[in-house]
Structure 1
Amino acid sequence: MEFKLILKKINNELTEKEQILFDEWYAESEIHRQYYKNVIKNYGKSLDGIDVEVAYKNLVPKLRRKKALFTPLRVAAIAAAITVLISLPFISKQDDPELSVPVVATEKKIEIGTDKAVLTLEDGSEIPLEAGKSYTNKHLTSNGKELTYDTSDNKTSEIKYNTLTIPRGGQFFITLSDGTQVWLNSESKIKYPVTFTKGNTRMVELIYGEAYFDVSPSTQHQGADFMVKSQEQNVKVLGTEFNVKAYKSDSYIATTLVEGSVSIENKGTTRKLTPGNQSKFNTVTNTIKITAVDVNDAISWKEGLFSFKNKTLHEIMLQLSRWYDVDIEIENAEAGEIRFNGVFNKHQDLENILLTIENTNEAKFEKIENKIIMK
């Protein structure tokens, strides 16, 4: 039986013929009846009934905890709490063999993303940073999971820059020399001073990708503000927490303010953001639009989650491809525009997520070498 019939049953949308098919399936076995009860329990009463914010808060009760993304116990707790809470209901492979649509077996396992980056020093030399490899020089230290600059090393001198590049399948955490903390998402690149000049604007550049900033207050740096440059946009702050998303594949730069205040600057135009709002700077038209958003949805990646709130399958596949370092080709363009809501734990196999999507019968997936085809 198609899974969509179960969804229609939950929403009282079955035709007379479909109701007969459902009743026959339901009466066949206790396994079917239990499966249906499990779907109801985890699904709710409508496709739009998922409150992502509530689900997120249940998963992440301490959003403000520093470096939460990289705490193993935290990851384990999230994994134990829930695998997926989505308009695609929770389904395990063992629930019902008739309804579980297997993803094609893989010759090479697609790995879950992990902590890794490449540090480019001021002399151009490149240092791979990953678990099990430590690196130290007079300005910084790294344990392979995070990078920390000497916070007592700021002085008036020639400014030298380092660059940190996070590949697909990676993430990283960095503490700049002024104490500002930065979480970097997959496929991102940031350029910043090794040391900041006291009293002057603390400028960093998000060359591309996505980063979350917890900025050290200007009161601790002789009033020096902090600025993030992304292409043609500048974000100016005094001390606050915000997220900047500026991927090369996007035609916009999204800046989401969590707390504090920031101003968005572009070619003489300045717009101020308040907490809970997001600006979208269109890189084609050079225009800025500000809207209220679900902050938890925008910064969920930092907490080890995929939060898909009214996202198309095309957008979902793009995020998955970055984290799992796999190319995903969409052959079924119509399915690519279907929208879903939900939250996934990032620290699980890609196959689990694809299986959940497959069980809606809206799309099928086939793996060919290191590429996923969505049909």
Structure 2
Amino acid sequence: MMEYPKDYKISRLIAKKMIGTILPAEEEKLEAWLKEDVRNGELFQRILEGKNVPDRDLYAERFEVNESWVVIKKQLVEQDKRWSISPWWMGIAASIVLLVGIGLYLGLLRKPAVQEIAQPIARIETGGSKAVLITSSGDKIVLQDTSMQLISLGSGMIARNDGSRVSYEGVGEGDGEDVLAYNTIRVPRGGEYKLFLSDSTEVFLNSGSEIRFPVKFGKSKRDVFLRGEAFFIVKKDASRPFVVNADDKVSVEVLGTQFNLQAYPDKKMVETTLNEGLVRVYDKKQSVKIKPDQQVVYNCEDSKLVVREVDASLYSAWKDGRLVLLNNTLEDIMACLGRWYNIDVFWVNPELKEYHFSGELARYEDFMEILDMLEKATRVHFEVKDRTVFVSKIFK
């Protein structure tokens, strides 16, 4: 089963405990770790009560990445300044999050070097809720307005838009003929949007994605068509299975469940990850069923379906503004950031694409913060010109 190293998990729980955001289930895991070994409790107390850098040094020594720690330790003074308006423990917790979230557990670690971050010519910020609705008649309606919109779709159906989500409302489901009028919602790079279908199914759309769906579902089926990535919370209806057709490659059939589906056209894999319920993933030749915390990976090159065990919540973390890295390549990371921030990437040294990372990133308002953390943890340099990021290797 793919998962974080144990030290990584515990460090995040400690940080959450210190800043007061730990959940009850997470606190139980932390308590269990504390009871495993008396030294764990002593270490936790030193972190909790310590007010200076040496206490953080002691904690960081638990990780088998000493070279990376030596460099990042030199930057803690600067990190403390960033949190100077907060209580002392907020600074320590923030440093722990920074250290273990991106800097300490690297799949391809090289001896790091401190490098200045290039200043952007144009400020690159995360996008917000924005999308375009394309009606069955071809009309294009921008959905990012903050004011309420009521869009008449005919046959008693309306689309209600509030600036961050759109919902379809009107006459009852399944009482019409199976001659359906389809709408499309297209989310650009740098955007995100939430959709309520006419059967009350919820769809969270990620950047650079689009979904084609009936204004009102017919009597016998509920079919939608996805390109990109979306998280679905499907309304249960035993008489009408819900089917997501992923970029003309595979289909996912459910009755009522929660799952994440990633099917970007430029990726070689289509990933279906199940959070709750039961789904069937199939193409014209094969079919598999999966249970919660399982994932089906469809390889577009050999057309094979492979099932693997995962922590499903990590794959849908994007809808909460987090990118969880599980030994991801730098190429995948930059592709995701490209969609989130609507930037292009130029690889000065293409071999850097294969660097691997595990950790966690957030959709910061300032894009440079993410590049800053990546630079501090590895021998990679980022230079931003307009909306293009140049990625090069640090040789010294």
Q: TM-score range by the shorter chain?
A: 0.7 to 0.9
1:314 pairs with one of 331, 334, 340: 331
Q: How many residues align?
A: 298
In structure 1, the residue corresponding to 2:103 is in which secondary structure?
coil
- Counterpart position of 1:192: 213
Map 1:1-16; keep pairs closer than 5 Å. none
Preserved contact between residue 39 and residue 89 of structure 1 (Cα < 8 Å) = no
1:150 pairs with one of 157, 166, 169: 169
- Residue identity in the other structure for 2:376: N
Q: Can you list the C-alpha shifts for 1:39-58, whole angstroms capped at 9, x where unaligned? A: 6657851359xxxxxxxxxx
User: Does 1:114 find its partner at 2:120?
Assistant: no
- Counterpart position of 2:367: 350
Q: Can you list the C-alpha shifts for 1:305-341, whole angstroms capped at 9, x where unaligned? A: 0111111111111111110000011222333222111
1:46 pairs with one of 51, 64, 67: 64
Aligned-pair CA distance for 1:218: 1.2
Aligned-pair CA distance for 1:129: 1.1
Where does the alignment leave 5 or more consecutive residues of structure 2 unmatched?
Answer: 1-50, 67-92, 106-112, 153-157
- Counterpart position of 2:47: none
Aligned-pair CA distance for 1:132: 2.0
In structure 2, the residue corresponding to 1:296 is in which secondary structure?
helix
Change (3 A) 1:354 1:40: farther
In structure 2, the residue corresponding to 1:170 is in which secondary structure?
coil
- Residue identity in the other structure for 1:186: S
Where does the alignment leave 5 or more consecutive residues of structure 1 unmatched?
Answer: 1-32, 49-80, 91-98
Tell which deviates more after alignment, 161-170 or 324-333.
324-333
Structure 1 distance, partners of 2:65, 2:317, is: 21
Preserved contact between residue 43 and residue 89 of structure 1 (Cα < 8 Å) = no
1:181 pairs with one of 193, 199, 202: 202
Preserved contact between residue 280 and residue 289 of structure 1 (Cα < 8 Å) = yes
Change (3 A) 1:159 1:40: farther
1:240 pairs with one of 236, 249, 257: 257
Aligned-pair CA distance for 1:367: 1.1
- Counterpart position of 1:78: none
- Give the TM-score taking structure 2 as reference length: 0.70
Structure 2 distance, partners of 1:177, 1:251, is: 32
- Counterpart position of 2:137: 123
Structure 1 distance, partners of 2:338, 2:286, is: 35
Structure 2 distance, partners of 1:323, 1:374, is: 17
- Residue identity in the other structure for 2:243: M
Structure 2 distance, partners of 1:202, 1:300, is: 26
- Give the TM-score taking structure 1 as reference length: 0.74
Structure 2 distance, partners of 1:310, 1:330, is: 20
Change (3 A) 1:169 1:356: same
Map 1:48-63; keep pairs closer than 5 Å. none
Q: Percent identity?
A: 30
- Counterpart position of 1:209: 228
Change (3 A) 1:131 1:341: farther
- Counterpart position of 1:12: none
